[in-house]
Amino acid sequence: MSVSRRDFLERSAALAAAGFVPRLPEDWWSTATAPAPGTTPGYRARPVVVSSANGIRGVKVAYDRMVTGQDPLDAAIAGVNIQELDPEDQSVGYGGLPNEEGVVQLDAACMHGPTRRAGSVAAIEDIATPSLVAKAVMDYTDHVMLVGTGAKRFAKAMGFQERNLLTEKSRQDWMRWKSRLNANDAWLDHDDDIKVKFTTGTINMNAVNASGDIASVTTTSGMAWKVPGRIGDSPIIGAGQYCDNLVGAAGSTGRGEANIKTCASFLAVEFMRQGLAPQQALLKTLERVVAMTETRLLGPNGRPKFDLEFYAITKDGRYAGATLYSGGRFAVCDERGARLEEAAFLYRR
């Protein structure tokens, strides 16, 4: 059954009134919180890069490259490459904690505001910089997402080199986890170190240059000890990150499953399109995440048992970070240099 544009807008307005979707003007796709480059003579933005806290080194690299003329996406990817190649960051790239079978599987996605393009890879193995493979998907194919063995074949065809991503440190953590699955199995418990690591960490980075051009990238090794083939929010456009050159960008780290169900990064950008400041948009998005959380994942107080963090920038250079629970920080770099700032939050721990 066909639906006219008028019927669609009327139904959307009814849903918005009921609190299910953001209420937008009829020309929502062409409005923004700031004018597009070229529409206002001499338009200038304030260059800024924001990311998850583990990107404190990367935001400086990205900012310095961007202000000297490099494309904001290339700059942001250079920033996240630092963590992808750092074996001490066990939530991203080389040295990431593996799945339940001891295999490191990586996800990444990127978006380029000026050209309205995107690229993504998921469950890719043996390639340390999935963010660069995601950009290659964007640059050289008519697709947006490649997954698994297909993504790896594509990467090798593009010249990326294979390497074993499982470091000895991560392998030992996997062995500790595996040994404690069942007290009666044939694996000996590591009683010398009973702490089992678990991570849902990621790095998201968003950048805007002086012309107001925006880019976003997210990359991760995903949830530790995951079921093989599990894909989180990071490679999903609109969930792990989203970028609209008329408005801004947003991205996330934390429990990807909660993010996927709300298309949360897209939602944050749409809230900013309506005129909400970045911090307001992120807190409102987190409220939606809570509303969509399954009962089994809620504590006795009705609050989620997990955490989720968001980061956002606007076209004119405003930015924010927000988390479900207090204590979070995020990285930012602008004309004042790279630093960590306190994130806004819904709940105090």
Give me the active site residues, please: 202
Nearest to 199 by CA among 164, 169, 225: 225
Strand partners, 314: 248
Sheet-wide strand order for 344-347: 241-244, 248-254, 308-314, 319-325, 344-347
Q: E strands within the chain?
A: 48-52, 106-112, 117-124, 145-147, 203-208, 214-220, 241-244, 248-254, 308-314, 319-325, 329-334, 337-342, 344-347
Tokens found for residue 146: 């490649």
168: which 2 tokens?
Answer: 């000895």
Tally of CB atoms within 10 A around 298: 14
* Cα–Cα distance, 330 to 173 (Å, whole number): 26
Is residue 258 within 8 Å of residue 286, measured between CB atoms? no
DSSP string over 51-76? EEGGGHHHHHHHHHHHHTT--HHHHH
* Residue 12 and residue 20 in contact, taking contact as beta carbons nearer than 8 Å: no
| Tokens matching residue 29 | 């796709």
Which residues in 121-139 are b (16+ Cβ under 10 Å) and which e? Answer: bbbbbbbbbbbbbbbbbbe
10 three-class SS: helix
Rounded Cα distance, 45 and 315, in Å: 7
